[in-house]
Amino acid sequence: MKRLTSALAAAVLAMWPAPAGAAGYGDPPGWCTRYSDMWTSTVVTNDPLVGTNPERNTFYGFHPDPGYDDWYGYFYGDFRGRPGDSSGWVKLLHENYPDHYFWNFATNGWAVHGHVKQYIAYYNWTFGGQCGIGSYRSLAPPPFMADQYGWPVVDIYVDSVPPYDPQPRVAAATAYSVTFTWDPVADRGDGAGPDFFEAGMDHYTSWITTGSSSALLQLASTTSPRLLTQALASNQTACLHVQAFDRLRNASAERVVCGQALLPPPMPAWSAAMQVAAAPSRAGLAGFATWFWLAPAPQPLTVAETYAGLRYAVTAMPVGAKWDFGDGGQADFSNGGGFGLAYPAPSAVRHVFETDDQAGYQVGATVRYDVTYTALIGGTSFGPNPLGSIDLPAFPLTYPVQQAQPELVMTT
Amino acid sequence: MRIVLALLTLFLAGCAIPANAPAAVKPLLSRDGAERTAFKGDDLLRAALAGAGADALPSLFRGRALTTLRLQVARLTERGVLFEERSVSRRLARFDAASGEAVLAVSSEYRMATREEINPAWAATERQWWMRFEFDAGSWWIVEQQNLPPDRWVHT
């Protein structure tokens, strides 16, 4: 019987030693460590039922006289849904020699969240006063004797809550690849108040799948988010999968985001309401310069469209103009000066008609636009990427040109 | 007699340490060296607690660390208790070259097997193992060690 075992050296030994009372909970009333070698232990686990509780199978006696013990526990912490709880001395079981007995938190319908400090004792009702507490046949309570054979004091730390779910996203995309990443997340910890315990973030596991293939590409565990770029053919989809793990291997949900290489959208059907204007406005004079411009001045054009499941913004930026003055004369401008300026501002677009034409010359202009596209993926824009160029004609102007006749006017 | 005294004087003078002789230089433990030593110590301790016994511990542990661990292994053996770990990943969570101290963070699955329960379930765990090194006889030794309670863990 454990009471009769020789007094073992009270070396405080443990696989994972921790000083008793380190977490702020003191020894319970009536606690007597005499005859116990006072092994203590610290359990760190993600199991609220503490399947690795080292004391769970240590309920047995050593001697047939009297042949039984009553085992008690005293628990501090969050073991029945309340942080900072204290159980008082709770009878766990009655043991008959030489049988072994089992007790763990689930036996009482309990579960640990955060921190719990566990004291296990047998009730010394045969011998009183072994710690000067109570005496045999007196009304004073005899001591609760620390278990002599197991781990009478165990600090238990449970974090069964996974880290926050990471949120993968597309970081970049080109016509040939897509790049993914995610932002760091924190661990959440378990329990509350003085018993809160958080194991801390450990790593992320991430990988890529493409199309319907189950092959895990670029699989790796990293301690911080990373960038994963996957080369893709057109119309091929790649998905990033990522999970966050804390130090007790609690895993977040597997979060997935998919993306494609950017496909150039089809060129939209553009239109722009511009017309050729001139000064002098009604007719020009042969041999004199006429100023031209486009009214209104060309502006950037933007079209939103959806193509292959992706949203695009396509923008046409006016970059130059080509003029045909109807008399064989032409001018090509590769900058905004080619749009001219409304009179009376001096326009860079000027032309001198050499001969008159009462019916009018057909003066036309074509505006050249450089077109780009930007893809909108998951709230992020990727681009601009070139889509080509277009020419949009302005509404032409029929422009009569008159011949100026010099006349000699006699005055008196 | 004078000759003997003269010879003795010469002998003692020859044995005297010159005033400008360099003091014994204590080698500095590098982080890599500390990690290697900590890993080796962790391997030895894990094997000892899993049933191999304490015989290999003196190859790396000395002083209070060795005394404590030998006693611990002996008591576990006496009780038929084995501590087993698998799926171990380790990192040096802290290293202080000046004090010769390090903390090894060990993440693993572990279980405690007893005579009554020889095949218990595995459970994930994390521990942080503090140790202090000393250099002697051309080698680094672990002379003190303990597992830190979680409220003293190093968070990096």
pLDDT of residue A137: 59
The total number of structural domains in chain A stands at 3
Say if A408 falls within a structural domain: no
Mean pLDDT on A319-324? 97
pLDDT class of B156 with cuts at 50, 70, 90: confident
The beta-carbon neighbor of B150 closest among A15, A19, A44 is A44
Domain boundary among A129, A158, A187: A158
Same domain (yes/no): A201, A305: no
Q: Which residues of A31-64 are buried (b: 16+ CB within 10 A; e: fewer)?
A: bbbbbbbbbbbbbbbbbbbbbbbbbbbbbbbeee
Q: Which residue of A has its CA nearest to B118?
A: A57
B111/A52 CB distance under 8 A: yes
Which residues lie across from B60 on neighbouring strands?
none
* Rounded-to-integer distance, Cα B78 and Cα A176, Å: 66
Question: Which of A204-208, B11-15, B91-95 is the least confident region?
Answer: B11-15
* Rounded-to-integer distance, Cα A278 and Cα A350, Å: 9
- Residue A397 tokens, joined: 């102007």
Mean pLDDT on A113-127? 88
The beta-carbon neighbor of B117 closest among A16, A17, A57 is A57
Is pLDDT above 50 for B12? no
Which residues lie across from B142 on neighbouring strands?
B61, B133
Residue that wins the pLDDT comparison between A88 and B9:
A88
Same domain (yes/no): A151, A93: yes
| Average pLDDT of chain B, as a whole number | 87
* Rounded-to-integer distance, Cα A253 and Cα A295, Å: 59
ipTM: 0.77
Which residue carries 């990096």 as its tokens? Answer: B156
Residue B1 burial (C-beta neighbours within 10 Å; 0-12, 13-18, 19+)? exposed
Residue A62: its chain B contacts at CB < 8 A?
none
Say if A343 falls within a structural domain: yes
Q: Which residue of A has its CA nearest to B78?
A: A149
Same domain (yes/no): A92, A187: no
Same domain (yes/no): A343, A199: no
Residue B152, helix vs strand vs coil: helix
* Rounded-to-integer distance, Cα B4 and Cα B7, Å: 5
* Rounded-to-integer distance, Cα A150 and Cα A116, Å: 18
pLDDT class of A128 with cuts at 50, 70, 90: low
Domain range list for chain B: 30-152
Q: How many CA atoms lie within 13 A of A315 on its CB side?
A: 13
CB B111 within 8 A of CB B104: no
Domain of residue A214 covers 168-260
Closest Cα of chain B to A369: distance in Å? 55
Same domain (yes/no): A290, A256: no
Torsion of CA B4, B5, B9, B10, to 10 degrees: -30
Which residue carries 């566990």 as its tokens? Answer: A118
pLDDT (tens digit per residue) in A134-164: 655 565 666 889 998 889 999 999 999 999 9
User: Which letter does DSSP use for residue B21 in this model?
Assistant: P
* Rounded-to-integer distance, Cα A276 and Cα A205, Å: 63
- Residue B106 tokens, joined: 């060990």
pLDDT of residue A16: 36
pLDDT class of B94 with cuts at 50, 70, 90: very high
Share of chain A above pLDDT 70, in %: 90
Cα–Cα distances (Å) from B104 to A308, B144, B155, in that order, read 52, 13, 12
Is pLDDT above 50 for A329? yes
Residue that wins the pLDDT comparison between B24 and A381:
A381
pLDDT of residue A4: 33
pLDDT of residue A21: 36
Residue A42: its chain B contacts at CB < 8 A?
147, 149-150
Say if A238 falls within a structural domain: yes
Residue B83: its chain A contacts at CB < 8 A?
15
Query: Amino acid letter at A274?
Result: M
**Length of chain A, please?**
412
A15/B112 CB distance under 8 A: yes
Domain boundary among A97, A124, A158: A158
Look at strands A237-246 and A177-182 and give their pairing: unpaired
CB A369 within 8 A of CB A390: yes
User: Which letter does DSSP use for residue A94 in this model?
Assistant: E
Query: Amino acid letter at A122?
Result: Y
pLDDT (tens digit per residue) in B64-77: 999 999 999 998 89
Question: Which of A268-272, A378-382, B83-87 is the least confident region?
Answer: A378-382
Say if A411 falls within a structural domain: no
pLDDT class of A261 with cuts at 50, 70, 90: confident
Cα–Cα distances (Å) from B36 to A273, B28, B33, in that order, read 76, 14, 5
Question: Which of A70-79, A103-112, A135-144, A271-280 is the least confident region?
Answer: A135-144
A44/B125 CB distance under 8 A: yes
Angle at B77 between CA B71 and CA B80, to 5 degrees: 145
The beta-carbon neighbor of A23 closest among B105, B151, B153 is B151
B123/A47 CB distance under 8 A: yes
pLDDT of residue B84: 96
Say if A310 falls within a structural domain: yes
* Number of Cβ pairs < 8 A linking chain A and chain B: 72
Is pLDDT above 90 for A206? yes
Is pLDDT above 60 for B13? no
Mean pLDDT on A308-313? 83
| DSSP line for A4-30 | GS---------SS---TTTTSPPPPTT
Q: Which residues of A377-403 are buried (b: 16+ CB within 10 A; e: fewer)?
A: beeeebbbbebeebebebeebebebbe
Residue B128: its chain A contacts at CB < 8 A?
none
Q: Which residues of A289-304 are buried (b: 16+ CB within 10 A; e: fewer)?
A: ebbbbbeeebeebebe
Mean pLDDT on B15-41? 76
* Rounded-to-integer distance, Cα B115 and Cα B31, Å: 40
Which residue carries 């087993």 as its tokens? Answer: B84
Same domain (yes/no): A254, A287: no
Closest Cα of chain A to B129: distance in Å? 9
Same domain (yes/no): A60, A29: yes
Chain B residues interacting with chain A (CB cutoff of 8 angstroms): 49, 68, 71-72, 75-76, 79, 83, 105, 107, 110-112, 114, 116-117, 120-121, 123-127, 146-147, 149-151, 153, 155
- Helix (H) or strand (E) holding A317, with range, is strand A310-324
Distance, CA of B32 to chain centre: 15
Say if A312 falls within a structural domain: yes
Closest Cα of chain A to B120: distance in Å? 8
Same domain (yes/no): A235, A298: no
Say if A6 falls within a structural domain: yes
Is pLDDT above 80 for A103? yes
pLDDT of residue A19: 35
Same domain (yes/no): A1, A132: yes
Same domain (yes/no): A152, A181: no
Q: How many CA atoms lie within 13 A of B87 on its CB side?
A: 13
Same domain (yes/no): A324, A393: yes
Is pLDDT above 80 for B144? yes
Q: Which residue of B has its CA nearest to A202?
A: B107
| DSSP line for B45-67 | HHHIIIII-STTGGGTB-HHHHH
**Length of chain B, please?**
156
pLDDT of residue A6: 31
B30-152 CATH pick, 3.40.640.10, 3.10.450.50, 3.30.870.10, 3.40.50.720: 3.10.450.50
> DSSP 3-state helix, strand, coil percentages of chain A (rounded to 5)?
5, 45, 50
B72/A14 CB distance under 8 A: yes
pLDDT of residue A138: 60
Torsion of CA A215, A217, A221, A224, to 10 degrees: -140
Say if A284 falls within a structural domain: yes
Give the predicted TM-score (pTM) of the model.
0.71
Same domain (yes/no): A136, A22: yes
pLDDT of residue A108: 97
* Rounded-to-integer distance, Cα A24 and Cα A14, Å: 19
Query: From the candidates B107, B108, B129, B156, which should be mutated to test the interface with A, based on the most A CB atoms within 10 A?
Result: B107
| DSSP line for B90-135 | EEEEEEETTTTEEEEEEEEEEEEE-SS-SSPPPEEEEEEEEEEEEE
pLDDT class of B155 with cuts at 50, 70, 90: confident
User: Which letter does DSSP use for residue A105 in this model?
Assistant: G
Mean pLDDT on A380-393? 91
Is pLDDT above 80 for A235? no
CB A147 within 8 A of CB A93: no
Domain boundary among A131, A158, A185: A158
Q: What is the CATH number of the domain that holds A178?
A: 2.60.40.10
Closest Cα of chain A to B78: distance in Å? 11
pLDDT of residue A140: 62
